[in-house]
Structure 1
Amino acid sequence: MEFHFVVANDNGNSEHKIMTNGILHKQPNVYSIIHSDQGQSDEPLDVLIANIHKNIDVRIESKVLSGTYRYLIGHAAIERNQAQIYNMNIQNIKKHTEDLPVINTLGTIAVEAVKKAYDEKKTLTNGELIKVTTDMTTALPASIHNVESEEYFKNRFLNHLHEVKVYIKDLTITVQIEFSFVKVMKEGVPALFSLIEDGNNNYRNDDIFEEFNKEYKNNVDGSYFLNKRILHCDIGDGSTELVYTTGYSADPLKSAGEKIGLGQAIENAGVNLSKELNLDISRQKISEYLKNPNHKFHQLALKHIYQPKQEIARKIFNAIENRLQTLAFEVDVLMVYGGASILLKDVLYDTLKNYCDKYGIELLWIPSKYAVEMNVNGMQIYNTIRMADLQMSNEG
């Protein structure tokens, strides 16, 4: 079988958000290497296929990786309690050179291909081959994005045949992945597409602007931000990206990335939390506790992160203040989003709001329901526009 996938790929330090043909999958951005068979599940194949993204078990052969190994990816790596879990290095961010973004991207695309094949045929055959050609949009942090890093990262996917063996029940399915197009954006630019457009050739006009409208007594839609000078504050686990944009253009000379993120607070909180529970708890596991109000350790995790996150909030505020001063406050809107913005709002919003008011800058704090997916949704909108343009060009 052969498929063509259009992929929007946001490889976050904490969470991997990836869309294949408009279908979103999110999971911890981790993997573990396994050296023995995990054993077969007793569940029927249709059940395993329905949950395949939570049980990614693959072997990847690619010239761009440092070796050929069998991996558990995302939820599977965490839930099967492997001794060694690999995640993104939040102390020394070099996403374009790390193997993790390539491994987890290839693994996720491969299992989606297997799922699609099963959905179409209602069966799978041991040893069968699925071929996937892929157009992909992804991004690198402003702190490392330049011509060289963009080209290096792009070429790790392009011009190679990546072969992935997917293990499910007693079957081994081979998926060959080739990339026909890769676009590497500067983080911040995709979020503009998500802010301004709704993906249906209209300006965005929904509750993403509700708090902003109440604060500034406006009735805005996405068009309001078309020509605004915006300083993006995209707060993640490993870094805070401060990207300056006007329209759909990012100015690299006015942008910066700081190696400050909530992951550092989570790691600090994890030391005390691990001691209290007498467990060795990974950063991703603590993130799950924090994200899930119904988890039995949610309140405990909140208690242990409160002080560390205040320290991170102070560092982020100082970074924003320095950037605004460098820009001589020639900014119309400060836009705050990213997964870490959700937990930091209670200790950062008021301070930022008062500061922005002083210099005539509007503060747009993206609501939690949208904050995590601004980049991946923006990439998807970019892909939609690109594919429509290609179709028109072919028809013309």
Structure 2
Amino acid sequence: MNTKVETDIGKLTTKTNMKVAADIGNSTTKMIVEDELFSQPSVIRRLMKNPQVTETDLKKNVTNLDENLTVHITSAAIKGTANGLYVIGRKAITTDLDKVQNMNIKLGNKHKHDLPVIMILSMIARKIIKDEFDEKGELAESYSATCELSSAIPASEFSFEKAEILEKRFAAHKHTVIVHLGEKLVTVVLNFKKAKVTQEGVPAIFALLSEDETILEEFNNLYKKKDEEDLIQDNEEITKPIDLKKMKIFHVDIGDGTTEYIYTNGVNPILDACSGEKRGVGHATEEATVLLNENLNGLMKINRQSFMSIVADNTHNLHAEAKDALDIAKGSQANFILEDTIEKVSNKTGNNVDIVVVYGGGSIQFRKYLFDDLKEFADQIKTKLLWIPEKNAVDLNVRGLDILNRKVFFRKKR
């Protein structure tokens, strides 16, 4: 339960025990705080001077905060030269695409980057400001909050030592975020009572177990039809997601910069059999950008951000060429993911798998390139394929972190 203490000293409002679940994806940062799920593109842009004030109405500025999140960050958790003024997420990608900073999907080392820290601090400050204004219709000059934070880093780079580095970046320091709301500046000071970092993919099993039966509809229809055609009776039908708790599961969590291959016995990860590879939508986009630039014979240089804007704009004169290049690159990445899965199921699990479960934002993008081949592989090794529906696939990790916050990581001891 969140508690709030107000004092008259400097109009300071303090919030305690804010449980924060943060999924720091290469494409999108998703966060759950007090049952609210919200997100921002994982991009930032540094500003050298204060932005020009175009709107002075405080209510409008708070209402539109997600589209105009502008903050000044001061924190020992980031490099000294990185302290400063930023526009965050959606605001960062509306102008000057060549100046935005995003995660380098080829280098990895998410636990060392400043961008995830800046994203998380900014989004927590956003949550505090919107909640306070919604409740009171006004804002104090400053706020202080004590948080309990959980997050995750890719299995391809995970170790307990690296997880501890990221945990300490939050827990060992105070962090000051000044949010720009037109002419009004609001200071938010954040303290992290606890921080817990696990490996991506692991939290998703907890979210899967808590989903309703609709995530199994396509799966059960697919295998019921197959059993009828083959005159085979299924000896272990999955009727509810909680049934997965009894199974050995090979997870394929397809993201933007990495694909996580997680092996669990129920909710327990078999750490030696968990790994990750630099596969995903971001890599397909980079490959496609190279292809498009080659097709243009160097007449213009297109970067990853501008490439995606061309793909999204079906009136752009290069839209068809960009889509074709992306189709080719997605097919290539899907083939890599298929090969990874076959190799890891064989070598990491000894083919001792009850079910292969596919999810993540990339599962939506790659389904048409990957589903049939992965289904054929599952049939060959006498297991099954559960492809999580689009409406559930993207948020499993952040929802799993939120469940872990309440039931495991920060549960109050009786």
Task: Work out whether the TM-score is over 0.5.
Answer: yes
Deviation of the 1:371 alpha carbon: 1.1
Deviation of the 1:133 alpha carbon: 0.9
Confirm or deny that 1:173 pairs with 2:186: yes
Deviations 1:325-344 (A, max 9, x none): 10221111111111111111
Deviation of the 1:317 alpha carbon: 0.8
The structure with the larger Rg is 2
Partner of 2:44: 31
Q: What amino acid sits opposite 1:302 in the alignment? A: K
Confirm or deny that 1:70 pairs with 2:77: no
Confirm or deny that 1:99 pairs with 2:118: no
- Is this contact kept in 1: 2:56–2:183, CA < 8 A? no
Work out which of the residue numbers 359, 382, 388 in structure 2 matches 1:337: 359
**2: distance between equivalents of 1:223 and 1:289?**
42
Partner of 1:250: 269
Work out which of the residue numbers 230, 246, 250 in structure 2 matches 1:231: 250
**2: distance between equivalents of 1:170 and 1:91?**
40
Cα distance change, pair 156–344 in 1 and its aligned pair in 2 (3 A): same
**2: distance between equivalents of 1:135 and 1:358?**
45
Deviation of the 1:102 alpha carbon: 0.4
Structure 1: 5+ residue runs without aligned partners? 198-203
Number of aligned residue pairs: 382
Deviations 1:313-368 (A, max 9, x none): 11111111110110221111111111111111101100010011010111011111
1:76 alignment partner, SS class: coil
Cα distance change, pair 336–387 in 1 and its aligned pair in 2 (3 A): closer
Deviations 1:272-314 (A, max 9, x none): 55787x8866535655776x6x865676653331001111111
- Is this contact kept in 2: 1:78–1:285, CA < 8 A? no
Alignment of 1:27-176 (within 5 A): 27-42=40-55, 44-67=57-80, 68-81=83-96, 83-125=98-140, 128-176=141-189
Please give the TM-score of this superposition, normalised by the length of structure 1.
0.90
Deviation of the 1:184 alpha carbon: 1.1
Cα distance change, pair 300–383 in 1 and its aligned pair in 2 (3 A): farther
Partner of 1:356: 378
Deviations 1:188-247 (A, max 9, x none): 1110011001xxxxxx32321111111223451112100211111111111111011112
Confirm or deny that 1:3 pairs with 2:15: yes
Structure 2: 5+ residue runs without aligned partners? 1-12, 225-236
Confirm or deny that 1:268 pairs with 2:287: yes
**2: distance between equivalents of 1:129 and 1:377?**
30
How many percent identity over aligned positions? 34
Cα distance change, pair 388–182 in 1 and its aligned pair in 2 (3 A): closer
**1: distance between equivalents of 2:145 and 2:301?**
39
Deviation of the 1:155 alpha carbon: 0.6
Cα distance change, pair 386–38 in 1 and its aligned pair in 2 (3 A): same
Please give the TM-score of this superposition, normalised by the length of structure 2.
0.86
Deviations 1:94-150 (A, max 9, x none): 00011111011001111221222222221235xx11001111111111111111011
